[in-house]
Amino acid sequence: MRGRFVAFEGGEGCGKSTQARKLVEALQGAGLTALHTREPGGTPGAEAIRTLLLEPPGAGWGMEAEALLFAAARADHVACHIRPALERGDWVVSDRFLDSSRAYQGAAGRMGDAAIRTLHTIGSRDLLPDLTLVLDVDDATVSRRLGLRDGGASDAIGGRNAAYHQAVNAAFREFAGAEGERFAVISGTGSIDAVHDRVWQAVSPLLDRHRA
Ligand code: TMP
């Protein structure tokens, strides 16, 4: 039986990395083989591309090159890690996937959704998660968490201006509204355990279908 693929999405500091880890632990606790991975990254090649993207050499990348590098990292991640795991019947939980490219490069970066989708068709044969969880957090909470996480220092993309990040967050909400069956928007406000309970509820139908 094919495994299930769950992706966490959201803007900077929304808490998705913590929640991805908690979900993997819960799935493993339920007796499932669940792999925790991230984008950009997840394979040695994609992790090398991650460094190029977040700590760019020289003056940085233009938006087209940036989108292509994300798509290249994803192609390697999908071919070498995600598809083989799903084919073995394992669960895969990824901290970010295609919808980050749609939000950051397609919407906020103005590449357009069609271009990002085309790159995904070429790179990853249109693989989509079974469920995409968007963690939605208010601006004040995000600023506080980011201050705690990296003391205000950011990478090349996290450090873009507020308008860029507002466009990213608006895009995630729009995607979730347009494709209700693939997305669940989870309030990221409250304790880690309270958010995890909401995540677990959203994942439960997938668990039932997996066991059926
Ligand atoms: P992270 O902070 O969640 O590890 O993600 C790294 C950064 O890369 C974050 O600022 C979001 C950005 N990103 C994109 O711009 N496009 C993408 O496709 C992905 C996966 C991440």
Listing DSSP states for the chain in one string gives: ----EEEEE-STTSSHHHHHHHHHHHHHHTT--EEEEESS-SSHHHHHHHHHHHS-STT---HHHHHHHHHHHHHHHIIIIIHHHHHHT-EEEEES-HHHHIIIIIIIT---HHHHHHHHHHHHTT---SEEEEEE--HHHHHHHHHHHHTT---TTTTS-HHHHHHHHHHHHHHHHHTTTTEEEEE--S-HHHHHHHHHHHHHHHHHHHH-
Pick the residue with more confidence: 96 or 146? 96
pLDDT at 180: 94
pLDDT at 151: 62
Mean pLDDT on 142-153 = 68
Confidence bin at 212 (pLDDT 50/70/90): low
pLDDT at 140: 78
pLDDT at 94: 98
Indicate whether residue 165 lines ligand 1 (CB < 6 A).
no
- Rounded to the nearest angstrom, the distance between the alpha carbon of 1 and the centre of ligand 1 is 31
Confidence bin at 29 (pLDDT 50/70/90): very high
Indicate whether residue 158 lines ligand 1 (CB < 6 A).
yes
